[in-house]
Amino acid sequence: MTDYAAPLADMRFALTEIAGIDDIARLPGCEQASADVVDAVLEEAGKLAGGVLAPLNRSGDQQGSRLENGVVRTPAGFKEAYAKYVAGGWNALPFAPEHGGQGLPMALSTAVFEMWNSANMGFALCPLLNVGAVEALHAHGTEEQKQVYLPKLVSGEWTGTMNLTEPQAGSDVGALRTRAVRDGDRYRITGQKIFITYGEHDMAENIVHLVLARLPDAPPGTRGISLFLVPKFLVNADGSLGQRNDVRCVSLEHKLGIHASPTCVLAFGDNGGALGFLVGEENRGMECMFTMMNNARLNVGLQGVAIAERAYQQARDFARQRVQSRPVTATSAGTFAIIHHPDVRRMLLSMRAQTEAMRALAYYTAGAIDRARHHPDGDVRVAQQRRVDLLIPVVKAWSTDLGVEIASVGIQVHGGMGFIEETGAAQHLRDARIAPIYEGTNGIQANDLVGRKLLRDKGMAAEELLAEMRALDGPLAAAPGEDIAKIREQLSFGVLALTTATKWMVERGAIEPARTLAGAVPYLRLMGSVTGGWLMARSALAAEQHLADGHQDRAFHQAKLLSARFYAEHVLATAPSLLSAVAGGATVMAFDIEQF
């Protein structure tokens, strides 16, 4: 009932037609990503995801991670699954070759990451956090730190964490109080961190904590924060593990979902101070943190895609086997599965079409990261980075909001059985619900989109994207068929609305900051819906072309055309109506705080 099969056909389609994996494979440093390799990686990852990780999803939820005498025990089977994951070289997939990474493109590793998260989000969080630690060390670590820590973190023998949050410092990182005191060429760290994902566990022999802390003489706020590497076990000169460091897990949170993932309260320095090593410069920790967070935000957005895919598969399988009532379409006697009912089909198609749109956007953004890193032309790199910076908050917030909505529809497809925990549909909603919150709440993503990504460049990056969207109108007009005509119509309305909203935001942002920020979330939703619609239109064109070329898999490409049309009629069609809310922040700010 809760099987997962990686949607290889749609993943390949999105990689080829949307991310442009063939072009990416021609970039210097990405040459290994030949079509054969891409196929093999997807195929093998699909096996690990479906065969090893997915079967542990439900039991992992039921058992949860447990804290026993300071040791965190992950659910049965997790340790063994992680060992297989490491042994297969999967952890090294996205990383640069210099420290043992496989150097495969981000677009490909994004597809693979989607699989881990679909199969078992509670498990996948461990590698997800590790990516941030690797990237921070890669960008800001000393040569020695890289030599000692990166090979183990890249292979996955050791795992990494991100230690930001404290009880009084959540979204407001600058309010953190954890102290770091110089002690020779090291530091002694004292304080408490909360919400530390896989802050303690039994799947790896060492854990490398990246910890934000404050020096005694640091300036207040975010300009006084430094980043420290605090290993669970200190590392000897020969690379072997030494003494246990002064950091321990004092409790685990009881959460709505992702029960398998231990969310730790970590106490640093109860016995004299945990030994920490500065990463980057003193008081420049926030920059390092943003390095960690940027790709983490893409990966969290991907969790929205992944959980939506899993919820879709489960709802579809249930709807195929559950027999109930005679549908209006029935032309014969006998029993009918509920998938024949028009509204059940509508629900399934809404799950599927939106998941495809989110997948397209996530892979597209990952492809832009590859170009920003590897393109030989510096101007292209800069332009692609601008695109990435613009879209990261959209991928994160739009996909995770939809992930929750789609998981909820998945429950609805099941009827009463959806509310029963044994069915597994409810877990997806519980798991999905964290993603709009962590790695910067979706409200913060919207503030970032409007404040940093729109206003700072006066809408240039957004206008570049909009120009590309408009340029698709020609090809859409030239393509045959009613499906594409309908898609074209809705896309044109959507692009017009997003253009209007963007201009409005750029004009008003400086004059009425509170009002524009009160419209930031609807604006982000508008941008997600329209950008998703643009990529679905590109998918429809590609599918149409394959059909015209006599591609052998007609059913798949016909389904792509129809899901794009569904998206246009049911999702994109509602996007322009968000304009009123985008500009409606004046009412929000007029409502007195005392009146709530």
147-206 residues in contact with its own copies (CB under 8 A) are 165, 168, 170-172, 175, 195
Nearer to its own copies, 143 or 591 (CB): 591
Residues 25-64 that bind its own copies (CB under 8 A): none
Nearer to its own copies, 7 or 105 (CB): 7
3-state secondary structure 318-385: HHHHCECCCCCCCCCCCCCEHHHCHHHHHHHHHHHHHHHHHHHHHHHHHHHHHHHHHCCCHHHHHHHH
Judged by CB under 8 A, the residue of 237, 328, 333, 478 near its own copies is: 328
Sole window of 71-79, 240-248, 381-389, 438-446 interacting with its own copies (rule: CB under 8 A):
438-446
Q: Does 437 bind its own copies (CB under 8 A)?
A: yes
Nearer to its own copies, 380 or 420 (CB): 420
Judged by CB under 8 A, the residue of 105, 262, 436, 533 near its own copies is: 436
CA dihedral angle for residue 42, residue 44, residue 50, residue 53, rounded to 10 degrees: -110
Residues 446-465 that bind its own copies (CB under 8 A): 446-447
Nearer to its own copies, 233 or 556 (CB): 556
Residues 346-365 that bind its own copies (CB under 8 A): 346-349, 352
Site string for its own copies, 547-576 (x = CB under 8 A): --------xx-xx--xx-xx--xx--xxxx
Judged by CB under 8 A, the residue of 39, 183, 343, 553 near its own copies is: 343
Nearer to its own copies, 210 or 579 (CB): 579
| Smallest separation (angstroms) from its own copies to the CB of 384 | 29
Residues 62-121 that bind its own copies (CB under 8 A): none
In whole angstroms, what is the distance from residue 246 CA to residue 188 CA?
A: 9
Buried b (16+ CB within 10 A) or exposed e, 433-459: bbbbbbbbbbbbbbbbbbbebbbebeb
**HSE-up (13 A, CA, CB side) for residue 552:** 0
Residues 267-286 that bind its own copies (CB under 8 A): none
Site string for its own copies, 405-424 (x = CB under 8 A): ---x--xx--xx-xxxxx--
Judged by CB under 8 A, the residue of 345, 373, 381, 508 near its own copies is: 345
Nearer to its own copies, 471 or 590 (CB): 590
Nearer to its own copies, 104 or 194 (CB): 194
Nearer to its own copies, 267 or 446 (CB): 446
Using alpha carbons, list the distances in angstroms from residue 297 to 120, 122, 290, 459. Answer: 18, 17, 10, 22
Residue 250 burial (C-beta neighbours within 10 Å; 0-12, 13-18, 19+)? middle
| Smallest separation (angstroms) from its own copies to the CB of 183 | 32
Q: Tokens 């059913």 belong to which residue?
A: 555
**For this structure, is 439 an active site residue?**
yes
- DSSP string for 136-178: HHHHH--HHHHHHHHHHHHHTSEEEEEE--BTTBSS-GGG---
Residues 385-404 that bind its own copies (CB under 8 A): 404
Name the 3-class secondary structure at 303.
helix
Q: Nearest-5° angle of CA 370, CA 41, CA 549?
A: 80
Q: Provide the terminal-to-terminal Cα distance of the chain, rounded to the nearest Å.
A: 45
Q: Residue 77 has what DSSP assignment?
A: T
**HSE-up (13 A, CA, CB side) for residue 293:** 20
Do 236 and 100 touch, CB atoms closer than 8 A? no
- DSSP string for 2-28: ------HHHHHHIIIIII-HHHHTTST
Site string for its own copies, 507-526 (x = CB under 8 A): ------xxx-xxxxxx----
Using alpha carbons, list the distances in angstroms from residue 201 to 74, 118, 127, 147. Answer: 6, 21, 13, 24
Amino acid found at 573: A
In whole angstroms, what is the distance from residue 347 CA to residue 332 CA?
A: 24
| Smallest separation (angstroms) from its own copies to the CB of 58 | 12
| Smallest separation (angstroms) from its own copies to the CB of 117 | 17
Nearer to its own copies, 79 or 570 (CB): 570
| Smallest separation (angstroms) from its own copies to the CB of 335 | 9
Using alpha carbons, list the distances in angstroms from residue 590 to 289, 336, 447, 594, 596. Answer: 36, 54, 20, 11, 12
Sole window of 224-232, 269-277, 385-393, 432-440 interacting with its own copies (rule: CB under 8 A):
432-440
Do 447 and 585 touch, CB atoms closer than 8 A? no
- Of 268, 52, 307, give the one whose Cα is nearest residue 161: 268
Nearer to its own copies, 290 or 419 (CB): 419
| Smallest separation (angstroms) from its own copies to the CB of 244 | 28
| Smallest separation (angstroms) from its own copies to the CB of 417 | 8
Q: Which residue among the candidates 135, 309, 405, 439 is catalytic per the annotation?
A: 439
| Smallest separation (angstroms) from its own copies to the CB of 293 | 15
| Smallest separation (angstroms) from its own copies to the CB of 277 | 28
Residues 458-497 that bind its own copies (CB under 8 A): 490
Residues 571-590 that bind its own copies (CB under 8 A): 573-581, 584-585, 587-590
* H or E element at residue 195: strand 186-197
Active site (catalytic) residues: 439
